[in-house]
Chain A
């Protein structure tokens, strides 16, 4: 029998961040991680001898910079292999669109579009800054009289007021429509529209015409307010982020046990009492912080029968679908994308020629099928980081949208066809790449669920939609990290503000637990 002040279930980035902050206040903290490596979705895996990829998240563009500083992550090995990467919208005729945070370029981009893009970004950044403020503290409850919440709400209200009448009205209008319509009213070039709208649908179960896509776009744009002027890449793959967080945590006194899967969160009366591991070991603690997604926390670890029935209802209603797969290629030679030099090939490459293309790709997944021509976000990461592949050889990591959780007949039947379709598609833009493939790996939403424990394979644990953010994330009554079970807290992407390797969920959760002190 071992006792800890806090047990954290899951050593994902948020769990480790939470552990770091709790340990700094002198608490004894144990992190239990089912996988053999820390970091959760911040993972590096070998897909072929000597070939490593960021196995889940591939771009870093949201990690809150205060975390890097406060946890001294650079001291613990965090290095950027590339920063402020451009996004390049690939076109089969070689006339690509080059998008950076403050300009857009390309043969077919009109001067109007170039100007509009700057105006668009200025406006959108104002909105993203509003979100930035709200993300830095717990989500405010609307009904209870609490000063912390009032201040957050006042900041939001004041922020909206300072937008000015026109921009505030426009925010109210835009946030509820879809990114397709916003693109249609803003730009001319189809490729440009598709490229921007893709940021509104990434990781989501949504197409450009779906509601909530403007919010998703703004969420991602928060990264720019943090100083990420484009995507960045971590040296050694995203797993290095997990490693640095774990190293910092260990230095702060956190005990991390890898390869120990929590089977159950135990509860005595209204309070949690500890956890039982897969092998039957019981570990005691009066505070359990779950980095697992809210659905599996309550449904799998605690059991719906052991929580309040109204809460059980809300848990089962959480929308947690994904349409996102990962494709990894080990390449014998450098790829050759048409019309790009090798420096450009290391940027973020997107195959999404127009918005209807993305929308059609999304249509498939609505009906349980995978897209025959998916939208693809490509990182030839070895171009920026030689440590990932043997000299002269390369790895390619791609986010492929859309793939259903499980198609009719199961993935065993469809896996090879979907992978082949996606590779054939990349071949159209990078002729010869097929012949240089040493091996490939496809991770479907179902695979991502089983490897990383995200229900439905949903990146954000809980879909990022307006009805599931802020004080409604993951559901009302659980929006301030604590829930209707004494001693149980949530700290993962399924809580405010959300996922995407931002890390604030874990930090905010720690703040809340520390604030509650002996009442936690």
Chain B
């Protein structure tokens, strides 16, 4: 038995990750041993925002979808119009069950005419199979066959250019470009989960360690640092990215009826293309659009510096919602919380109250912190989109 077949799994970068993980703070990501932090969560976070941070995202579930019906298959499964996705482009997607409830979010990479890669947070083998009924497609789980790194931050383009990826600055957000790396293909996409300038690198596992070494060598002068899932969590909250399994319960995991959310209720309505005549959950979502949603997803700016983790959200004395993700966001210098608010509350600008409980030396304190509904994320720098990428 291959050692990688034994729980916990190790990513192709494990030898390098292990060496860099100074504080041995390990977590379990989909069965893989991954660091929650390497040396200091704040410093790792600041590497992402100020220089370059590197995140091993190999455990991300990856599915290769190919065949003559690949585009039709994806178009039926996803709420977005997948026929609009050009070759060498990436799309952020969500998909729903029959009842229009969110199952997961992910990214679709169009690699060639009838070749796509779907990256999903949760394992989706069974759902992909059921969705494939009636389509001429082949679906392969290639999670273990593709090693991946996220290289994120203002100096990420400079780092990768120094590593020899010429012309990378021309890559637009969601573009893909392939490079040669030791006789193998190194695929680079301008994507990420940090809301900053950044790239994701995709390569065969046998070249993973070499890639890591060359990357960190090239990035030395740009102050490259690895970062773990805790730092990533701050970055994604700061930039307004929801996380499946945290900010919504994936419909397929649901036990209690009514606890799932639709894309419209998660602020993801922009991903739902009702112009499409058919996609999974369309009928239910159309009905929801007509009759109204139950909840509204909001980003809150909470007074004070106590993160509003798991807080109740009040309107006056009435409880109208609760927080799903919260963090003090250092760059934006604001105390951000994602919350589910019952309709009709939570309109832009509305003043609400976060009921925050926190503990200091076994002493619990309750704070009623005023907060207000924002109209978007607190961190959204121009460099995230600017093309050609600005060299730092």
Contacts and interface: CB of A to CB of B under 8 A. Distances in A.
Given A268-B277, A484-B98, A309 B130 contact: yes
Contacts of A310: 97-98, 130, 280
Interface stretch (A85-93, A240-248, A298-306): A298-306
Contacts of B134: 299, 303-306, 312
B82 to A, nearest CB: 14
Given A303-B134, A304-B133, A484-B98, A309 B283 contact: no
Given A270-B286, A311-B98, A306 B130 contact: no
Nearest to B286: A270
Given A268-B277, A309-B76, A309-B77, A486 B283 contact: yes
Interface residues of A, number: 21
B278 A306 contact: yes
Interface in A86-106: none
Contacts of B73: 305
A309 B286 contact: no
Given A305-B134, A308-B98, A484 B76 contact: no
Interface residues of B, number: 21
A305 B76 contact: yes
Contact of B283 (A299, A308, A316): A308
Contacts, number: 53
Interface in A120-152: 143
Nearest to B287: A270
A309 B280 contact: yes
A269 B278 contact: yes
B282 interface: yes
A277 B145 CA distance: 47
Interface in B63-99: 69, 72-73, 76-77, 97-98
Nearest to A310: B98
A312 B133 contact: yes
B85 to A, nearest CB: 19
A305 B135 contact: yes
B97 A305 contact: no
B179 interface: no
B59 to A, nearest CB: 26
Contacts of B98: 308-311, 477, 484
Interface string A290-326: 0000000001000111101111110010000000000
B92 to A, nearest CB: 20
Nearest to A313: B130
Given A308-B283, A309-B280, A312-B131, 7 more contacts: A269-B282, A270-B282, A305-B135, A306-B134, A309-B98, A484-B283, A485-B283
Q: Which 5 residue pairs of A and B lie closest in terms of their CB atoms, listed nearest first?
A: A304-B134, A305-B134, A308-B98, A310-B98, A270-B283
Interface of B: 69, 72-73, 76-77, 97-98, 127, 130-131, 133-135, 257, 277-278, 280-283, 286
14 contacts: A269-B277, A270-B282, A304-B134, A305-B76, A305-B133, A305-B134, A308-B98, A308-B281, A309-B97, A309-B131, A309-B280, A310-B130, A477-B98, A486-B283
